[in-house]
Structure 1
Amino acid sequence: MNLLYFSAFRAVMLTGTVSAAAELLGRSQPAVSRLLDKLEGELGVTLFERRRGLVTPTSVAQLLLDEIERAYVSLDALKSFAARVAEGENSRIDLAIIPALASGFVPRLLGTFRSDWPNTKILLNVTLSAKIEDWAASQQIDFGLAETPFRRSGFRIDTFSDTPYIAAVPAGHPLADKARIGPADLVDVPFISWASLTSAGQLVAQAFRSCGVKYDAAYETTVSSMAYEMVKNGVGIGLIDPYTAVGELDERVRLIPFAPAIPCNVALLRPESRPANRAVDALLDLMATERDRLMKLLPR
């Protein structure tokens, strides 16, 4: 099939009109309409309902767009690879990390890394674990750091860290002097937890159930730094990841181990078809060294 047909179709779906698609593609409106007609003819389906100059996508068009977007992701990955080859080995690193590692952990390392690899560019994506998994599976990144579990394939998985989540307590709170905090301590206490859509949120809810305590979070978030700020301002008690905990140390917050321990399982995702890159290996070595240093600072 002619990729130009799909390009015209995608442009119409993204812009909403044939005229806007034509402007985006640098073609005339009749030319784009002809491309759509040819695509419908080859597929043998109706992609758009046409009324008074307007086009309305059919359900088939929506399904086709999903498939085309996957193809464009692969094409973008191919373009990135070609650019890397043209620029030379180690010229660029594409990585994706969860927010917990973005507020302090990774940024602190980049200055040191640049002193050793001054000509290496870094594209740093900060997003949730599910998106990192998608990018790793579609070979769009050199590596990703995301929380388990994963559903897709196409990448190698190695444990990066499994240090448990830790309770953050306002310094003046009655629980601030405890050696351990568990679900029973949080009954009738404003609790700041993880959103149920995250793996951490599901693990926290399971920990409460296993202790026979009703899970009743007053606040939920997808970002640890948000929970830490709330604790710092006396809003409640939060359960945060170890990287945020050690990176956001503040005298207004006490860090106390949580029991039962809930591991913060961060995995290293390495796409299977990405070429070897010495700069990537150097950056990962630097991350591992800093991880080991920071985790020793947490209370046990």
Structure 2
Amino acid sequence: MLSMHKNAFDIRQLEAFSAVMSAGSITGAARLLGRSQPAVSRLIQDLEAELGYALLYRTSGRIQPTSRGLRFHAEVERHLASLVHIRERAEAIGNDEPATLTVAATPSLAAGLLPPALVALAPELLSRHLHVQALAAENVVQAVLARSADLGISSLPLEHPGLDIHWIAEAPCVVAMAANDPFASQDVVRLSDLGNGRIITLANPYRLRHRINEVFARAGVVPERMIDVNASLTALSLVRSGLGFAIIEPATAFGVPLDGIVLRKLDQHIPFLFGAISAAVVPQSPTVTALIETVRVQALDIPGCRLVEANAVDGLDNAVYGKSIAQKETPYE
């Protein structure tokens, strides 16, 4: 068993394991590290002996991670990234420069909203080393809570006592279609008109997809064919290939325009809710404070986007989660 009183891991062991996981072989890892194959094998064996369990299966000259190896790899990656950040921040301190900045954002917001916000920052505020992590919304929250990210930009829900929510914005989803589609001549497209086509939309049932499903149900529309994706940019690429209509959030749609695709309003309002978060009770650097504001300004450039007033935040439950069972069962008077 691993003892808490043992010495810290040899960083070379962790680097060797990370390289093996990246390369998929001892030979490839040795080339990545500039070490001999026997040296890398020995480092992995020593690490496994230190841990008390196997990290890799070795069969017929091939290797693959064990279930414990996969879980340990996630921890190793975070640790190695933290060491890189510490070195960068130490250099920044020595040079009296802005500290290294790490921003975690969902893929849609990282691609469609963050780039112009970073461009809008004053040059003296932007550090030499910048880390942008495109993560699932749940992982954005965890990165901010773990303080491995200075700032998070994510879709709602964002409820957690360890977070400070700086602002929340709402923007309507849009439908993306081929420029030569017959519906492209309309300014507003009826959801009911899309039911016979193939609908491309996001897969996560607990975020935006939940609201999209509710709107379809309320309109009495049952799509005949659907494609689920985990990123809006993928949806737009599928539309450009002629595979259907995409109902997606507007940050990617307007922030990363693709040739051959047009965006149209829907006759049904599907809100996309997102916000800026940081770890609670952690002082913000001037760079983070400025970036929170520039992202807010860029968000308001999205057509139809508005900020949610502070006193209205508690009233977002229906928009985020949908109506409760009690609400659905209560008849209208």
- TM-score by length of structure 2 reads 0.65
Counterpart mapping for 1:202-221 below 5 A = 202-221=210-229
- Alignment-mate amino acid for residue 265 of structure 2: I
1:173 pairs with one of 165, 179, 182: 182
1:67 pairs with one of 45, 69, 72: 72
Q: How far has the Cα of 1:281 moved from its partner?
A: 0.9
- TM-score by length of structure 1 reads 0.71
Check 1:268–1:25 CA distance in 2 against 1; reply closer, same or farther (3 A cut): same
| Cα distance in 2 between the residues matched to 1:274 and 1:78 | 20
Q: How far has the Cα of 1:132 moved from its partner?
A: 2.9
- Alignment-mate amino acid for residue 284 of structure 1: I
Q: How far has the Cα of 1:144 moved from its partner?
A: 2.0
| Cα distance in 1 between the residues matched to 2:180 and 2:26 | 61
CA RMSD of aligned residues (A): 4.4
Is 2:142 aligned against 1:138? no
Structure 2 residue aligned with 1:10: 17
5+ residue gaps, structure 2, are 1-5, 307-333
Q: How far has the Cα of 1:73 moved from its partner?
A: 0.8
Q: How far has the Cα of 1:173 moved from its partner?
A: 2.1
Is 2:288 aligned against 1:280? yes
| Cα distance in 1 between the residues matched to 2:246 and 2:304 | 21
User: Secondary structure, in 3 states, of the residue corresponding to 1:265?
Assistant: strand
User: Secondary structure, in 3 states, of the residue corresponding to 1:294?
Assistant: coil
- Alignment-mate amino acid for residue 265 of structure 1: L
| Cα distance in 2 between the residues matched to 1:264 and 1:104 | 14
Is 2:276 aligned against 1:268? yes
Identity of aligned residues (%): 23
Q: How far has the Cα of 1:291 moved from its partner?
A: 1.8
Check 1:96–1:275 CA distance in 2 against 1; reply closer, same or farther (3 A cut): same
User: Secondary structure, in 3 states, of the residue corresponding to 2:221?
Assistant: coil
2:82 pairs with one of 73, 77, 80: 77
| Cα distance in 2 between the residues matched to 1:234 and 1:48 | 43
Native 8 Å contact 1:147 1:266 kept in 2: yes
| Cα distance in 1 between the residues matched to 2:206 and 2:275 | 15
Count of matched residue positions in the alignment of Structure 1 and Structure 2: 293
5+ residue gaps, structure 1, are none
- Alignment-mate amino acid for residue 87 of structure 1: A
| Cα distance in 2 between the residues matched to 1:283 and 1:34 | 45
| Deviation per residue, 1:4-55 (Å, 9 max, x gap) | 2953883696366667767777777777777666666666556677889x69
